[in-house]
Amino acid sequence: MNKLIEQLKGGMIVSCQAEGDDPFNADPEYMALFARAAEMGGAIGIRTQGIAKLEAIKRATPLPVIGLLKSQFEDGTVRITGSLMK
């Protein structure tokens, strides 16, 4: 883990995500293309939302990927990774 932290230190992690009816949300491979473009631009890591997008990005780039899940609750609040996954 320390090696990964050192690799990321001082670099730019780019968020590659689209939601709802955004055209770029139509296919996880679109986010993979964004991730490749971010890598070409000097990103040292990618942040994305959703399992399918994470898997597509991992196939497209060797960069570390931070994956998150957003949960919307009954009161309308949205939380990042709002539950514990085992």
CATH number of the domain encompassing residue 63: 3.40.50
| pLDDT one-digit tens code per residue, 33-54 | 999 999 999 999 999 999 999 9
Domain assignment present for residue 15? The answer is yes
How many CA atoms are closer than 13 Å to the CA of 40, on its beta-carbon side? 7
Q: Specify the pTM.
A: 0.80
Three-state SS at 13: strand
- What is the enclosing helix (H) or strand (E) of 65? strand 65-68
Domain assignment present for residue 85? The answer is no
| pLDDT one-digit tens code per residue, 5-30 | 888 888 999 999 888 899 999 999 99
Task: Note down the domain range covering 71.
Answer: 2-80
In total, how many domains does the chain have?
A: 1
